[in-house]
Amino acid sequence: MSPLEGITVVSLEQAVAAPYATRQLADLGARVIKVERPGGGDFARDYDREVMGQSAYFVWCNRGKESVVLDLRNAADRALFDRLLDAADVFVQNLAPGAADRLGLGADALRERWPRLIVCGISGYGERGPYRDRKAFDLLVQCETGLVAATGTQEAPARAGISIADIAAAMYAYTGVLTALYERERTGHGSAFDVAMLDALGEWMGQPLFHGMYGAGPLPRSGARHPSIAPYGPYRAGDGREVFLCVQSDRDWVQLCARVLGRPDLTRDPRFADNPLRRAHDAELTQVLHAAFADLTADELLARLDAAGIANARLRDVSEFAEHPQLVARDRWRAFDTPAGPLRGLLPPVTVRGREARMGAVPALGAHTEAIRAEFGQR
């Protein structure tokens, strides 16, 4: 039996934040009924056509759901939607600012009618304040939280390469739903909560935020290097390939000097005596490392780092990650269905012994509309 077997989630969702949250619930066995608008449904269906003619965003975020097309301004469809909520344990929405209230689906109205219902609203900037009604796409929230300013090189800032503001909000919404379900088991009452993308990503910005508020100012943009720790990042081997290594402690530094660089004398160099000094003299330190690595291929350097117990990694692109030997060795890939045919995807990260997450099909637009009408139409 899956952990959320018997739990029904109704979601008015689009794009990434809410769909990714409810996909986690579907993976745990919840029944997720995705209500889509007529004339195209979730607009993430049209973001791209890269996955056998389907959107990579959509297949990622919508596994294991039922799709029903309803026009909530139509009286009959709205009555059917209300019957869905009669049977629901959880309602999730990430509509445009104010849209849920205009549809009579604000948290207070829902909780008054369905006191056991758990209501989750995901917004860009929260339910109050001067930014309440602003559109909040992932890049814009990355900008507003300081992430873009903290990412990139000294010459130019950069967005994170994934929809990290959406993902942060999704994961807090997901854990919020689980917490609310646990609370309802003890109290018998539902609850309502909100997650703002600004708050979710702002929480993840905690270290640079505290550094900027109480330290010497914002951390410098450092590309793939760490802004606070050295040596930490990419270094060039003799064959021109880059190897990433991370020295987290003075003990690691001693091991790196003695067993990888062959320069134990560097531990006594006053420029490199501790991490703040190493970071302050990072350019000089990089020259020392490149000189020591000049006679080693990347493979030889990685082997030497492994032997010394120094954390390291190869730089892989996503295609190489898809064939990662660690994923293969741990049997992390599974097939799941889509309207265009089966795909392979990674199992969810939480591995429960003796149980495997459900990886249901990605629904075609409105694939379950008639079945939902038949099931709930006469209630």
- Asked whether residue 281 is domain-assigned, the answer is yes
Using the predicted structure, report yes or no on whether residue 378 has a pLDDT greater than 60: no
Q: Are strands 65-69 and 31-36 parallel, antiparallel or unpaired?
A: parallel
To the query of whether residue 189 is one of the catalytic residues in this protein, the response is no
CATH code, domain with 239:
3.30.1540.10
Residues 238 and 309 in one domain: yes
Task: Say yes or no: 170 and 274 in one domain.
Answer: no
Please report, as a single letter, which amino acid is at residue 314. Answer: R
H or E segment and range at residue 313: strand 311-314
Q: Would 177 be classed as within a structural domain?
A: yes
Q: Is 277 within a domain?
A: yes
pLDDT beyond 90 at 352: no
State the alpha helices, DSSP H only, in 115-156. Answer: 138-144, 147-150
pLDDT tens, position by position, 73-102: 999 999 999 999 999 999 999 999 889 999
With beta carbons less than 8 A apart as the criterion, state whether 8 and 22 touch: no
| 177-228 per-position pLDDT tens digit | 999 999 999 999 999 999 999 999 999 999 999 999 998 888 889 899 999 8
Together in a domain, 95 and 170: yes
Shared domain check, 163 and 270:
no
Residues 112 and 145 in one domain: yes
Q: What is the pTM of this model?
A: 0.92
In a domain, 187, yes or no: yes
Question: How far apart are alpha carbons 243 and 241 in whole angstroms?
Answer: 7
Query: Quick one: average pLDDT of 304-326?
Result: 95
For residue 226, is it within any domain? Answer: no
Average pLDDT over residues 272-283: 94
Q: How far is Cα 210 from Cα 158, in angstroms, rounded to an integer? A: 21
Q: Residue 171: which domain range?
A: 8-205+330-376
- Could you give the CA distance from residue 307 to residue 42 in angstroms, rounded to a whole number? 51
The CATH code of the domain that includes 135 is 3.40.50.10540
Q: Which residues pair with 245 in a beta bridge?
A: 233, 312
Query: Same domain, yes or no, for 180 and 247?
Result: no
If one counts the domains in the chain, the total is: 2
Averaged confidence pLDDT in the chain:
95
Task: Give the DSSP letter string of 353-367.
Answer: TT------PPPPTTT
83 in the same domain as 182: yes
pLDDT tens sequence across 219-251 = 889 899 999 899 999 999 999 999 999 999 999
CA–CA dist 167, 201 (Å, integer): 9
Same domain for 192 and 45, yes or no, is yes
Residue 59 domain-assigned (yes or no): yes
Based on the fold, state whether residues 252 and 145 are members of the same structural domain: no
Same domain for 159 and 280? no
**Marked catalytic residue, from 226, 281, 324, 368:** 226
Q: Give the list of residues 6+ apart from residue 43 with CB closer than 8 angstroms, or none.
A: 14, 15
The continuous run of DSSP H or E covering 275 comes out as: helix 275-280
Residue 79 within any structural domain of the chain: yes
Distance CA 279, CA 274 (A): 9
Contact 333, 343 (CB under 8 A): no
